Structure 1
Amino acid sequence: MEPIEDLPGTLGAWSAGRGPLYLLLAARFRQVIDDGLLPSGTRLPPDRALAAALSVGRGTVVAAYDLLREEGRIVRRQGSGTRVAATAASRQPGADASTTPMFLHLLDPPDGLLLLSCAAPDDPPPEVAEAYGRIGLTARDLGYHPAGHPVLRAALADRYSARGRPTAPEQILVTTGAQQALSLLTQLLVAPGDSVLVEAPTYPGALDVLRQAGAVLRPVATGPDGIDVRAAAAVMDRHRPAMAYVISEYHNPTGAVLPAPQARRLAAAAAESGVRLVDDAVLGGLGFDGSGSGPGLQAPITVDSLSKAVWGGLRVGWLRGPASLVRRLSRLKAIHDLGTDVPAQLAAADLLRGFDTLLRRRCAGLRERHDHLRAELAARLPSWHCPAVPGGQTLWVRLPRGDGGSFAQTAARHGVAVLPGGVLDTTGASAAYLRIPFLLDPPVLTEAVRRLAAAWRAYDRSGAAGRPGPTALGAAVV
């Protein structure tokens, strides 16, 4: 295919952003290729010609082309030049949109598939409807509160203060779920090419956000006692990441709790390195002992929500941080949506008044389902390693052989969707794992394990358990 006539015009104001020029140029190429403005087979200008047309150094173009070639969006051959690849439409994980099964199944729910790929409560407790019935909307209120409704900001600040973390309402930003809090933080703090410390494994939704921002992920292993603090300190000291994202309590997916001494050392290491430490506390109150969350990591920035403790459909989350940061994020949020739904915020404030009682009941139900799922797995799949967890919502299951990605495809054919470990771990070290939540009713969990057992027998007989599995991208299209 002939080269496009006005490539600089098609690229537009590609350099209007933060970060190295080659990353900005690659990001714009990625967008126009994925949008179909540069069809497969289109011939791209030579390095020097494009550099002259864009008034940049040749090294900028070479570095951008190299990155696009590694992603499979372009091909470069001696003698035939540079062209848009025929497979360019097959996007890399997290580049522009999520390829995680957890999200894809929400967008297009498959018929007859038991969803163990998304760890969220499947029905609201009665308190949600009751809270909506009690709220009163204030007269003469425009309803636009980019930082959050004052009633909810005050209620959240009081709750933090009562738990040993003195907080003013000005330190609270209300968001549309914790996912938006992560997105806004990343947009404000992370430029393309910036390093971000993440755990391996970790919450895949966070990985999607960070990849979309063009961050360079710096993974640190996490295990039964949480993140390896010594390794994390070394990464922060060496790379000075723009942000460090951790889940300190009832970790997703491992269920681990970072012990208090290690939490203090991690916070001290981040402060010494000047790294913004972000603690995802969405699961922090879900300990099986029903005592609720303690002070936790006490990171400078905490994100949280009601999606796990109450219901995902109540799209109310928040961020606790320095007031100066909250003001900057509020201005950014105003651009996105002018503020979170006011009735939902008032209902959330009402729920917080009786929240401890609701939380104790929820934790008791989680413990019952955790025990039920482990008993079913032990009976039907005794070769699987399924250690107990002290809280949270998920088991981190290690297969005796094979690969979680390839097994997930077999499981889907047997009517159950599971999340393979490779989707949650940027190092590839979790390929033999599955994340299995214990949120469904016990009879449904029993049926899900029955299907998993049937899938495992088929997988094991086929010999697939002895072969290398697909990449995370291959696993994601189940």
Structure 2
Amino acid sequence: MPMDPAELADRLGRWSAGRGPLYLLLAARLRRLVDEGELPPGTALPPDRAFASALAVGRGTVVAAYDQLRLEGRIVRRQGSGTRVAGPPRPGPRDTTGAPVFLHLLEPRDDDVILLACAAPTAPPAMLLTAYERALSRLATVTNDIGYHPSGHRLLRRAVADHYTRRGVPTGPEQVLVTNGGQQALSLLARTLVEPGGTVLVEAPTYPGALEAFHEQSAAVRTLPVGLDGFEAATRTPGPRPKLAYVVSTHHNPTGGVLPALPRRRLAAAADAADVPLIDDEVLAHLAFPGQDTPPPLAAFGETVISVGSLSKSVWGGLRIGWIRAARPVIDRLARLRAVHDLGGNLPAQLAAAELLPHVETLCQDLAADRRARHDHLRAELARRLPRWQAPAVTGGQTLWVRLPHGDGDSFAQTALRHGVAVLPGSGLDASGGSGEFIRIHFLADPGTLTKAVRRLATAWRSYGGGHDRGAPAPRSMAI
């Protein structure tokens, strides 16, 4: 059976951002996937028309790229048999896996593409540099410590525990596991709590990295609306009980909503009653705009809540420090698995994080007004140049969830990339198969870059066939 065109388009990454004819750029990227084994011998490639539609190019571009690779002997094309990577199919399971939908957007590039897809601070703050100076001074005094701490250094575990206690969730260091970022935390939880085929309840849409972690475990992902509305009924349906549920309760990724206190209480109570572990992703929890209060953490309302945190969005993505806050038996299980795969994280980074964590809320507050100003600037530029796009305001976080007036996010993302802007199509964030008409873009860039990006998006939209935007209704608000 041929590969899904959208899946192959995701693997291609920013294939069209270079110089030269599109068919040669496409052939070059496909050639690399073949040569590196990401497309093994025997792989059936998508039909011309379907692949062209997913890439938002003419069929002739795909035909010419395929013909180029056929001449090189890398693929075989036969009437009635389709297009395949040259060579006999490999027996047994594939030894490569599909890269996450957002992986190609994280790799550094020298091109002129403006990245509005993956959001994180673009430089370490001065506070982090000071924290490292203090950490190195402490490191100079270390004796009788070989540096392996699979559960995390005691100072950082204590700092994370105090962080939750200050927020109304009494926590001890034994309830904390330090991880190499929030993504590793999600992967460890998936491996520990979900066996292949086990059901995981997620929001639609949701954070794509969580979906990747669950899919990697071959979980049966079941979707509910944002806020996990309908959770209680879902746990009572006939069949196996869900093994896990996942929610982003504060500054939801991607819609930006904040789950109010009463629904939090009901959701946590329902999870407790059903004995279903409920992961609350708090990576964005401290990114409220000025004057915006957020409810207490979901963990304040239920015993089965597992909190995941990270410093990647509030401080800097290069500081690979995350954590899991849960009941001690869960932490002990996670620590045993962590020790199998990773004997411990970077100790200087953990010592720096321990210095920094007590001040992270102050850091976020100091930068909140600037984030809101950039949010407002991006929305104003979109309203001016693309008035039919619906880009509802949010009260915090880093991204806008934008609804296109027609077409689909997957094909438009390819068009936008060819015009020098990377956006994240909504389909990759929705396990239900919905959200195809959405894209996610961030507002962390400086105002000049955001203006330039919207100018390029408007040009891409006209090329895509969306040039008749005048006289459109104002964007609607979206909330959980």
Common fold: TM-score over 0.5: yes
Distance in 1 between residues matched to 2:39 and 2:118, nearest whole Å:
34
Distance in 1 between residues matched to 2:295 and 2:395, nearest whole Å:
14
| 3-state secondary structure, aligned to 2:245 | strand
The residue type paired with residue 184 of structure 1 is: L
| 3-state secondary structure, aligned to 1:303 | strand
Deviations 1:12-53 (A, max 9, x none): xxxxxxxxxxxxxxxxxxxxxx979995399xxxxxxxxxxx
Distance 1:411 1:38, change over 3 A: closer
User: Are the aligned partners of 2:260 and 2:295 in contact in 1 as well (CA < 8 Å)?
Assistant: no
User: Are the aligned partners of 1:285 and 1:292 in contact in 2 as well (CA < 8 Å)?
Assistant: no
Distance in 1 between residues matched to 2:110 and 2:225, nearest whole Å:
33
| 3-state secondary structure, aligned to 2:246 | strand
1:186 aligns with 2:190: yes
Distance 1:461 1:158, change over 3 A: closer
- Equivalent in the alignment of 1:441: 446
Superposed displacement of residue 84, structure 1: 12
Distance in 2 between residues matched to 1:286 and 1:111, nearest whole Å:
30
- Equivalent in the alignment of 2:21: none
- Equivalent in the alignment of 2:124: 124
1:452 aligns with 2:457: yes
The residue type paired with residue 313 of structure 2 is: K
Of the three residues 358, 364, 379, the one matched with 1:359 is: 364
User: Are the aligned partners of 1:176 and 1:315 in contact in 2 as well (CA < 8 Å)?
Assistant: yes
- Equivalent in the alignment of 1:115: 115
Superposed displacement of residue 452, structure 1: 0.5
Deviations 1:353-402 (A, max 9, x none): 32232110122221111111111111111110111001111111001111
User: Are the aligned partners of 1:286 and 1:293 in contact in 2 as well (CA < 8 Å)?
Assistant: no
Of the three residues 143, 150, 154, the one matched with 1:139 is: 143
Distance in 1 between residues matched to 2:379 and 2:453, nearest whole Å:
12
Q: How does 1:298-377 map to 2 (within 5 A)?
A: 298=299, 300-377=305-382
* 170-179 or 153-162: bigger deviation: 153-162
- Equivalent in the alignment of 2:399: 394
Q: How does 1:94-109 map to 2 (within 5 A)?
A: 96-100=97-101, 102-107=102-107, 109=109
| 3-state secondary structure, aligned to 1:217 | strand
5+ residue gaps, structure 1: 1-33, 43-82, 90-94, 464-478
The residue type paired with residue 391 of structure 1 is: G
Distance in 2 between residues matched to 1:205 and 1:122, nearest whole Å:
20
- Equivalent in the alignment of 2:24: none
Q: Would you identify which runs of 4 or more consecutive aligned residues in structure 1 move more than 4 Å?
A: 34-39, 83-89, 290-294
1:40 aligns with 2:42: yes
| 3-state secondary structure, aligned to 1:304 | strand
Distance 1:373 1:150, change over 3 A: same
1:216 aligns with 2:250: no
Q: Equivalent pairs: percent with the same residue?
A: 54
Distance 1:84 1:367, change over 3 A: closer
- TM-score, normalised to structure 2, is 0.75
Q: How does 1:249-288 map to 2 (within 5 A)?
A: 249-288=250-289
Deviations 1:403-434 (A, max 9, x none): 11111010000000000111101122201001
Distance 1:87 1:249, change over 3 A: farther
The residue type paired with residue 181 of structure 2 is: G
5+ residue gaps, structure 2: 1-35, 45-83, 91-95, 469-480
Distance in 2 between residues matched to 1:256 and 1:41, nearest whole Å:
41
Give the aligned CA root-mean-square deviation in angstroms: 2.7
Deviations 1:32-78 (A, max 9, x none): xx979995399xxxxxxxxxxxxxxxxxxxxxxxxxxxxxxxxxxxx
Superposed displacement of residue 96, structure 1: 2.9
Distance in 2 between residues matched to 1:207 and 1:319, nearest whole Å:
18
Superposed displacement of residue 247, structure 1: 0.4
- TM-score, normalised to structure 1, is 0.75
Distance in 2 between residues matched to 1:123 and 1:36, nearest whole Å:
32
Deviations 1:306-360 (A, max 9, x none): 0000000000000000111111111111122211111101111111232232110
- Equivalent in the alignment of 1:379: 384
| 3-state secondary structure, aligned to 2:223 | strand
Of the three residues 160, 166, 172, the one matched with 2:170 is: 166
Superposed displacement of residue 166, structure 1: 0.5
| 3-state secondary structure, aligned to 2:396 | coil
The residue type paired with residue 169 of structure 2 is: R
Of the three residues 163, 177, 184, the one matched with 2:181 is: 177
Distance 1:35 1:405, change over 3 A: closer
1:154 aligns with 2:155: no
